[in-house]
Copies of this chain bind each other. A is one copy, B any other.
Amino acid sequence: MKGSHSVKNVAIIGGTGYGAVELIRLLQSHRYMKIKQIISHSQYGDQITSVYPHLTEFYDDPMEELNINRLKDEIDVVFLATPAGVAKDLVPQFQESNVQCIDLSGDLRLHAREAYLTWYGKEAAPQEILDEAVYGLSEIYKEEIIKAKIISNPGCFPTSALLGLLPAVEHGILNNQSIVIDGKTGVSGAGRKQSQMTHYSETNENVTPYKIGKHQHIPEIDLYLSQVANEDIATTFTTHLIPMTRGLLCTMYGKLDKQVSTPEVIDLYQSYYETHPFVRIREEGVFPSTKEVYGSNFCDIGLHVDERTNQLIIGSAIDNLVKGAAGQAIQNANLMNGWDEKHGLYHIPIFP
C-alpha cells in the first residue's frame, strides 16, 4: 500500500553505498517521507547495521532484493543511489506507474545518447527517458522539477561549478570560452568501493590530480552551462583528490568581458540567489571553506575580481554527499511533492 496523502513511502536502491546511507540519515528528520525498503543487490538479506553500525537502533530491518512490482505497489518515491549503468535500465520500468524516480547516478544527465557512450563507455538510457528526465539542479530548474516525475540528480562537481558560474554566465559578464574550473574533492566522492585511490595510506597527506581531461562531469557542466548561455561552451576542468572525507570546492576563473567590481559581482550573485535558501554568498574578502558547509545542503560562494588580470575568481563549496548528492535529491523530492524546499534539510553545518 502506498503512503497516505501526507506521508510518502520511500525506497532506496543501492543500499550499501554512501549515497544511500546519507539519504537514510537525512530522511530520519523528514516528516513527509518514510523509508519502507532499502534495496541492495549484493547484500540483500543482511541487516544494514552489519555494514553500518552507526545506524544501530535507527534502521535494523534487513535489506531487500529488487522487486519492481512490489515497488510499484508500495512505493511513492524511489531514490536510485546506484553505480553508473544501473538506473538507465531501471527507470524505464517505472514508466507506466506513478512512482517518482530520482536518480543520483550520471545515467540520465546527458541528453545525447552518444555523449553518454563516449564519457561513460556504456549504452545510454532510451532517448524518451533522457528527454523526460529533468536535471535536478534545484535552484536553476525549480519550475521544471516541480512538474517532473523523473529527476536526474546532478553530479557533485557540476552542482558546485554550475551554481558558482551560472549567475555570471547568465548575465553575460564573462568571456565564456575562457572558463577554467579547478575542482577539489574529498574521498567519499569516489564511493565506498575500494580502489588504490581510496586507500588511506596513499591518499592521506597527499593531493592527487586525477582523470585530467577525461572526467565524466566535463560534458555535464558544459551542457547546462551552454543551455543557460545559449552558446556552446567548453570549459577546462580538472579534479583533485584531497585528503578529507567530505567536502568539494570548485575554484573557477573567467576573463571578464565587462568592467565590474567585486562588490558589483557580489550584488549580482546575491540577487540571483535571493529566493534560494541553500546558496549563501560571502561578503567581499571572504571565501568559503568546505568545512563551513560540512554535513549540510548549503552551497557557499565567494567572489573576487582580480583587477590585475581582469579575471573573475569564484569559489563554490558544497558537501559532496549532501548538496552534491543525497541532500539535493531530497530537495528535489520536496519540490516535486509541494513541500517546503527546506524541509528536513535546513540544518546548521557541523563545525568544527
Which listed residue, B57, B290, B311, touches A180 by the CB 8 Å rule?
Answer: B311
Which listed residue, B277, B306, B348, touches A236 by the CB 8 Å rule?
Answer: B306
Report Cα–Cα, A82/B308, bound state, in Å: 30
What are the interface flags for A182-199 relative to B under an 8 Å C-beta threshold, 1 for contact and 0 otherwise?
101011101010111011
Residues of B within 8 A of A198 (CB): 194, 199-201
What are the interface flags for A66-95 relative to B under an 8 Å C-beta threshold, 1 for contact and 0 otherwise?
000000000000000000000000000000
Do A350 and B200 have beta carbons less than 8 Å apart? no
Do A187 and B204 have beta carbons less than 8 Å apart? yes
**Given known contacts A207-B242, A244-B205, is B200 in contact with A53 (CB within 8 Å)?**
no
Do B302 and A209 have beta carbons less than 8 Å apart? yes
A122, chain B: closest CB distance, angstroms:
21
Do B253 and A306 have beta carbons less than 8 Å apart? no
Interface, chain A (partner B; CB < 8 A): 18, 21, 24-25, 28-29, 52-58, 177-178, 180, 182, 184, 186-188, 190, 192, 194-196, 198-210, 212-213, 218, 234-236, 238, 240, 242-247, 249, 251, 253, 255, 277, 280, 282, 286-296, 300, 302, 304, 306, 308-309, 311, 313, 315, 317, 347-352
A314, chain B: closest CB distance, angstroms:
10
New A-B pairs, 13, CB < 8 Å, besides A184-B184, A205-B246, A206-B247: A29-B347, A54-B296, A180-B311, A198-B199, A198-B201, A199-B200, A204-B204, A206-B289, A207-B249, A213-B308, A234-B308, A242-B243, A243-B244
A56, chain B: closest CB distance, angstroms:
5
Report Cα–Cα, A289/B311, bound state, in Å: 27
Residues of B within 8 A of A289 (CB): 206-209
A-B contact pairs, 29 of them (CB 8 A): A18-B201, A25-B347, A28-B347, A52-B351, A53-B286, A54-B349, A54-B351, A55-B348, A57-B277, A180-B182, A182-B253, A184-B207, A184-B240, A187-B204, A192-B199, A194-B199, A200-B203, A200-B204, A202-B291, A202-B352, A207-B242, A207-B244, A209-B315, A212-B287, A212-B304, A236-B253, A236-B311, A242-B243, A295-B295
Residues of B within 8 A of A246 (CB): 205, 352
Number of copies: 4
Do A249 and B243 have beta carbons less than 8 Å apart? no
A69, chain B: closest CB distance, angstroms:
30
Do A290 and B206 have beta carbons less than 8 Å apart? yes
Residues of B within 8 A of A249 (CB): 207, 209, 240
Report Cα–Cα, A205/B352, bound state, in Å: 9
Report Cα–Cα, A287/B282, bound state, in Å: 33
Do A350 and B25 have beta carbons less than 8 Å apart? yes
- Most chain B CB atoms below 10 A, which of A21, A203, A242, A249: A203
Do A194 and B192 have beta carbons less than 8 Å apart? no
Residues of B within 8 A of A55 (CB): 348
A343, chain B: closest CB distance, angstroms:
12
